[in-house]
Amino acid sequence: MTGPKSKGRTVELCVPLAPLRVAASDRAEMCTQALAGESAVVINTGEGDWIEVELKADGYTGWTDAKQWVATHAPPSRSCLLQAPVSSWLREDGIQLELPSGSQLALDENDTWRLGRWALQPLDDLDVALGAHARALDAAEQFLGTPYLWGGKSLFGMDCSGLIQVAFQLTGKVVPRDACDQCQMGESVKFDDRKSGDLAFFQNSEGRVVHVGILSEPSTIIHAAGEVRLDEITQEGIVRNGTQTHALHSIMRW
């Protein structure tokens, strides 16, 4: 076999985004999402069209539908990372795709945009779709109002660590997927020394890191809880409408 179900094969996502699940079932929990053009390696195969993949960017693993992936032989010589929260593209078969930020498109020798085997034509302003963010905070702010979705990484729904991963990805920095791993990066910052762009991590009653956000101002945090939102942060944690909702664990500077 040489298709996307071949173990050890490098594959590329050819749809706007796809769930990765903890087991080979549509009813299994979604642990993360892959974005258009993302590369992975097939590490296991299951019944039907199920494959287990390891994402090349962050090493995250999960089960996914092989029909949403295509086998690849070599990375493209030129590619671009989409920056706008969502951008519209017309596939050569007439299908319009809405691609989320963080999607990766190849640019072939004829200067044609490609996703998998399909040629794409941009329907939006390319300067907006491709305009890079200098700061992760700027990238995070564009997702304000996005609904919360466990395992999500796009404008259509995202979780707290997905927000942070995508925001930093758009500045060219690769970071882990989960908050408990993200908190191991960078240098610790005292609460009184915090500033915009620092990462704040929060713990459960057992002291385990379970939540993360990015400071927009020293006393304000952007995080995903119900939606991507702005809330007050104090030395104790996140405060919403006078009630503490999350207990502060640490502040880190990347």
Which amino acids are annotated catalytic? 160, 211, 223
| Residue 247 three-state SS | strand
Distance CA 52, CA 41 (A): 8
Contact 87, 129 (CB under 8 A): yes
Give me the residues paired with residue 87 across strands.
99
Residue position matching structure tokens 């004829």: 110
Radius of gyration of the chain (CA): 19
Long-range contacts of 216-221 (CB under 8 A, 24+ apart): 216/137, 216/140, 216/141, 218/194
Residue 194, φ and ψ in degrees, nearest 5: -65, 155
